[in-house]
Amino acid sequence: MATEGSLLSRDGKPSPSYDVTSRRFRLAVIMSLLNTVYRSVFRRTSTFALSIVLGVVLFERAFDQGADLLFERLNQGKMWKHIKHNYEE
């Protein structure tokens, strides 16, 4: 089973012939991950389009909330909700 391309040995641990910290190993991990993503998502147009739709939904949420968070951090103490407790009981 231990072919040249396989990164893990039979018991699931990295093969001793591969240095986990090496650049080559990381590249190989990225390659195998991308291959899995390609086979499961990108290969069919339907799943590709679905992944784009889901990606937009998640990206919009993350991007908008991240931008708001950054804005509030840059304007800490200047906005009404930061100074509201001084004026309202």
Partner 1 sequence: MLSLVARSGAFSPYLSATSYAVAGQLKPLASGVVLHSDKVPLDVKRPFLTRETLSGQAASGPLSATAGISGPSSIRFLHSDVTVPDFADYRRPEVANSTKSSRPSDEYRKSFSYLVTGVTTVATAYVAKNVVTQFVSSMSASADVLALSKIEVKLSEIPEGKNVCVKWRGKPLFIRHRTPGEIEKEAQVDLSELRDPQHDLDRVKKPEWAILIGVCTHLGCVPIANAGDYGGYYCPCHGSHYDASGRIRKGPAPLNLEVPYYEFVEDLVIVG
Secondary structure letter of residue 8 according to DSSP: B
* 35 is a contact residue toward partner 1 (CB under 8 A): yes
How many residues interact with partner 1 (rule CB under 8 A)?
Answer: 16
From 14-22, 27-35, 66-74, 79-87, span contacting partner 1 (CB under 8 A)? 27-35
* 71 is a contact residue toward partner 1 (CB under 8 A): no
Residue 29 CB, nearest distance to partner 1 (Å)? 12
Burial class (CB in 10 A: 0-12, 13-18, 19+), 51: middle
Distances (CA, A) of 37 to 1, 19, 34, 54, 55: 23, 24, 5, 15, 14
Residue 25 CB, nearest distance to partner 1 (Å)? 15
Restricting to residues 40-59, which ones interact with partner 1 according to CB under 8 A? Answer: 42, 48, 51-52, 55-56, 59
CB nearer to partner 1: pick between 9 and 51: 51
Asked if 7 and 25 count as a contact pair (C-beta separation under 8 A), the reply is yes
Cα–Cα distance, 23 to 29 (Å, whole number) = 10
* 70 is a contact residue toward partner 1 (CB under 8 A): no
